Amino acid sequence: MKKSLVIAAAIMCVASLFVSCNKKGSGKSDGSIKIGIINNPPSESGYRAANVKDFETVFTADKGYDVKTFYSLKNDEQLNAAAQFITEGVDYLLLSAAATDGWDATLKKAQKAGVKVFLFDRMINVSDDLYEAAVVSDMAKEGETAVNWLKSQKLDAYNVIHIQGTMGSDAQLGRTGALDAEFASGAMKKVVQQTATWDEAEAKKIVESVINSGEDFNVVYAENDGMAKGAVAALDEAGITHGVDGKVVVMGFDCNKWALRELKAGNWNYDGQCSPFQAAVIEKMIKSGNVPSKKIISDEKGFDAKTITDSDISTYGLGD
């Protein structure tokens, strides 16, 4: 009898170990793949709304995914959520970080737990052995493309209101870099450089403050479309002309359809593309197990009010 109990206990231990290993390898016991997605909230911008929708469309329950999501503009909140997802045993962690720094310890924890990490939209400052691949925009190139376009306008002077996104984010750092180089060289004057954390109302306040100060400016370089919209609202209320043949050159990023329509109407001058569609690329790597490159760059361009077409708006514009 005693011997039978020992054998039965041994069989149960082996069975328990098998179930545990099976769960580790394939997500839940029903075979679904457990995905944890950390992103900025869709309310951040039109770009982010399209980005969130893209992941919701690709990673669905009917395709075998058990998805948990967390949205925040605060890096510490994202870090806490990522740690929780790892503890809960997700198979994959998909990450668009609010800030580039602070992720090293969390991704080491993921690696130790066997959780595979994919970055999307933004790079972070960690060793590349801590993630499988990054599907991102080249934010520095976006900034260089925009600043090169601005220089090609050959203005008599460049007095710039620079409205930045959330400080420390990959998008802010990249879109700021090329313009900072122009300020440092003296080729352009920094009238003001201030963050509006991607917010339209805050951007409007920044421009209103400059207008009220009486300081001269002729360029608004806003690091997303929403902030450009807020800046334009301040210009309109003050009766300051802008866009093609206007006093102030208006520049935005993300290429929302409504923003590109402003461009085509001549109210804005430039909009830089930032593709939000990374989910299908990541899913292909998850399903195939094949990672073609550590860093996969989205192909992007900039649009000029004088050359943009309706076809460009329908092809590259985000949203409605």
What is residue 230's three-state secondary structure? helix
Contact 163, 156 (CB under 8 A): no
Residue 267's pLDDT band (cuts 50, 70, 90): very high
Which of 298, 300, 295, 254 minimizes the C-alpha distance to 118? Answer: 295
Which residue would you say has higher pLDDT here, 30 or 320?
A: 320
| Residues above pLDDT 90, as percent of the chain | 88
Q: Helix (H, G, I), strand (E, B), or coil: what is residue 165?
A: coil
Provide mean pLDDT across the span 179-207: 98
Find the mean pLDDT for residues 12-22: 38
Look up residue 306 and give its two tokens: 């004088």
Given this model, what pLDDT does residue 320 score?
Answer: 83
Once rounded to an integer, what is the mean pLDDT over residues 82-88?
Answer: 98
CA proximity to 225, closest of 250, 253, 203: 253
Q: What is the mean pLDDT of the chain?
A: 91
d(CA 258, CA 318): 8
Q: Is the pLDDT of residue 10 over 90?
A: no
**pLDDT value of residue 6:** 41
**How far is CA 89 from each of CA 33, 59, 282, rounded to the nearest angstrom?**
11, 17, 19
Lowest model confidence (mean pLDDT) among 145-149, 247-251, 316-320 = 316-320
Question: Confidence band (pLDDT; 50, 70, 90) for 313?
Answer: very high
CA separation for the pair 174, 108 (Å, rounded): 26
Report the DSSP pairing between strands 159-164 and 219-222: parallel
Per-residue pLDDT reduced to its tens digit, 34-66 = 999 999 999 988 899 999 999 999 999 999 999
Integer angstrom CA distances of residue 59 from 22, 46, 121, 133, 284: 22, 20, 16, 17, 11
- 31: alpha, beta or left? (left if phi > 0; alpha if psi -120 to 50): left
Q: Quickly tell me which residue has 């309310």 as its tokens.
A: 43
Exposure string of 93-109, with b = 16+ CB inside 10 Å and e = fewer, is bbbbbbbbebbeebbee
C-alpha 6/C-alpha 13 separation (Å) is 11
Residue type, 288: S
Strand partners, 161: 192, 220
**pLDDT band at residue 31 using 50, 70 and 90 as cut-offs:** confident
- Burial (Cβ within 10 Å: 0-12, 13-18, ≥19) of residue 88: exposed
In this prediction, what percent of the chain has a pLDDT beyond 70? 91
The residues, ordered by sequence, that sit 6+ positions from 178 with a Cβ below 8 Å of its Cβ are 140, 143, 144, 146, 147, 148
| Span 81-101, average pLDDT | 97
Q: How far apart are CA 28 and CA 204, in angstroms?
A: 48
Q: How far apart are CA 114 and CA 20, in angstroms?
A: 14
Residue with tokens 């990959």: 170
DSSP state string for 43-71: GG-HHHHHHHHHHHHHS-GGGTEEEEEEE
3-class DSSP assignment, residue 117: strand
Inter-helix orientation angle 104-113/75-88, to 10°: 10
The lowest-confidence range among 27-31, 180-184, 235-239, 275-279 is 27-31
What share of residues in the chain are helix, strand, coil (percent, to 5)?
Answer: 50, 20, 30
What confidence tens digit (pLDDT) does each residue in 271-305 have? 999 999 999 999 999 999 999 999 999 889 999 99
Stated pTM of the model = 0.79
